[in-house]
Amino acid sequence: MRIVVSGAAGFIGSHLCDRLLAEGHAVEALDNFLTGSRRNVAHLAGNPRFRLAEVDITRPFAVEGPVDGVVNMASPASPKDYLEHPIETLDAGSLGTRRMLELALEKGARFLLTSTSECYGDPLEHPQVETYWGHVNPVGPRSCYDESKRFAEALTMAYHRVHGLRTNIARIFNTYGPRMKLDDGRVVPAFMDQALRGQPLTVFGDGSQTRSFCYVADLVDGLCRLMLSEERYPVNLGNPREMTILEFAERIRRLTGSRSEVIFEPLPEDDPRQRRPDIAKARALLGWEPKVALEDGLRLSVEYFRGIHAAA
Ligand SMILES: NC(=O)c1ccc[n+]([C@@H]2O[C@H](COP(=O)([O-])OP(=O)(O)OC[C@H]3O[C@@H](n4cnc5c(N)ncnc54)[C@H](O)[C@@H]3O)[C@@H](O)[C@H]2O)c1
C-alpha cells in the first residue's frame, strides 16, 4: 500500500513510518517541522519507498499518484508545545484535518485520525471508556488541543456519514519512548532528563495524580490494526497499567541510578487528576493489548536519552 502520513517527523509518526516500511508499504511523509524534527526520520533517507515533503497541512498541498491510506497525525501534542502554539494547534485539528480528509476522499483511500485521551478532559468517569463524552473546559488554556481534537473527530465522522469515507479514530493515551523531545515538557522525558543531569525531579501538585504509560511500539501496533478495521467510532489505545506520578518519579530514579531529590510545584490549570484507558474495545475488536513491560520500555527510553545527552 502507499500511505500518506502527516506529522511523520514527530515522535509517534516516525515510529509508524518505520513500521509501515518494515511491512513493505511505501510512505509519503508530510511535516512542517513545527514540533518534529528531520533527525527522527534521517535513518530512512536512503529508502526508495520513503519520501519526505515539507508540507503544512493547514495550507493547500497536493500528493501525486495513487494513495491507499491517509494517516493524520500532524498536531502539536505536548502541553508545552500546544500552549506555545494554540492557534496552530486549532488550525491543525480543523483546517489540517479537513485537507487530509479531502485527500483521502480524492484518492479513494482509507483515513485514520490520531485523536487523544484529552477528549475526555479531566474525566468524571474512571477508567475512561469510549462511550464517555468527556469533561472538557472549552475555554481553558488546554482547550486549544482538546477542542481541536474533538472537532477533528466530529469532522471525521461527518466525512464518513456524508461521503462514506472509510475512517478510523484512535484515542491515544500517554505514550512514551525514544525520539520524544527531551524538553517537550511531558513527564517521561522531563524526569529522565532531570535524573540524567542529577537535577531535582519536578512533580506537579502532590504527585497523587495518575497516568498510564504505553510504549510506542505497542501503540503503533494498535494503530496498524485499527487502520485495517471497519470500526468507525473511536477506539482507545493505551496501557491500562496506572500509577501515580510520584511512583513514576521513584521508578525513574531507580532505573537511572539517580540520587536526584523530588521537588513539588503547583499543578497546572485543568491538569487531569486521573487517566486510565478502558481497552476492552481494542481487545475485542483488534485483538490488541500492550505487550512491552514498563521496565523494558523505560530501559529502552533511558538508553536513547543517554545517547542524546552524550551527543550534546
Ligand atoms: N504522544 C502521546 O502521548 C500522544 C497522546 C495522544 C495523542 N497523540 C497524538 O498523536 C499524534 C503525534 O503526537 P506526537 O507525540 O508524535 O507529537 P509530535 O509533536 O512529536 O509530532 C507531531 C508532528 O506533527 C507535525 N505538525 C504539527 N503541525 C503540523 C502541520 N500543520 N502540518 C504538518 N505537520 C505538522 C510536527 O512538526 C510533528 O512532527 C498527534 O496528533 C497527537 O495529538 C499523542
Single-letter code of the amino acid located at 163: H
Mean pLDDT calculated for residue range 42-57: 98
Pairing assessment for the beta strands 69-72 and 175-176 based on DSSP bridges: unpaired
> Residue 73: which of 125, 30, 121 has the closest Cα?
30
- Banded pLDDT at 9 (limits 50, 70, 90): very high
Report the pLDDT value the prediction gives residue 273, as an integer from 0 to 100: 86
Whether residue 269 is predicted with pLDDT greater than 90 in this model: the reply is no
Are 78 and 12 in contact by the 8 Å Cβ rule? The answer is no
Average pLDDT of the chain to the nearest whole number: 96
Mean pLDDT calculated for residue range 159-173: 98
- Name the CATH code of domain 2-175+214-237 (choices 3.40.50.150, 2.60.40.1930, 3.40.50.720, 1.20.120.420): 3.40.50.720
Whether residue 253 is predicted with pLDDT greater than 90 in this model: the reply is yes
Query: How many CB atoms neighbour CB 103 within 10 A?
Result: 21
The verdict on the CB of residue 116 being under 6 Å from ligand 1 is yes
Looking at the annotation, which residues are catalytic? 145
Are 57 and 74 in contact by the 8 Å Cβ rule? The answer is yes
Q: Looking at the chain, which residues constitute the CATH 3.90.25.10 domain(s)?
A: 178-211+241-275+293-311
The verdict on the CB of residue 174 being under 6 Å from ligand 1 is yes
Q: Looking at the chain, which residues constitute the CATH 3.40.50.720 domain(s)?
A: 2-175+214-237
| CATH fold of 178-211+241-275+293-311 | UDP-galactose 4-epimerase; domain 1 (3.90.25)
Question: What is the CA 221 to chain-centroid distance, rounded?
Answer: 13
Are 201 and 194 in contact by the 8 Å Cβ rule? The answer is yes
> Residue 238: which of 280, 271, 204, 203 has the closest Cα?
280
Report the pLDDT value the prediction gives residue 97, as an integer from 0 to 100: 99
Q: Give 36 Cα–ligand 1 centroid separation in angstroms.
A: 8
The SS3 of residue 102 is: helix
Are 107 and 67 in contact by the 8 Å Cβ rule? The answer is yes
What percentage of the chain carries pLDDT values higher than 70? Answer: 100
Report the pLDDT value the prediction gives residue 118, as an integer from 0 to 100: 95
Mean pLDDT calculated for residue range 151-169: 98
Whether residue 156 is predicted with pLDDT greater than 90 in this model: the reply is yes
Report the pLDDT value the prediction gives residue 311, as an integer from 0 to 100: 84
Q: Give 162 Cα–ligand 1 centroid separation in angstroms.
A: 27
| Length of the chain (residues) | 312
Nearest CA, atom 41, ligand 1: 73
User: Which of 24-33, 44-53, 119-128, 150-159 is predicted with the least confidence, judged by mean pLDDT?
Assistant: 119-128
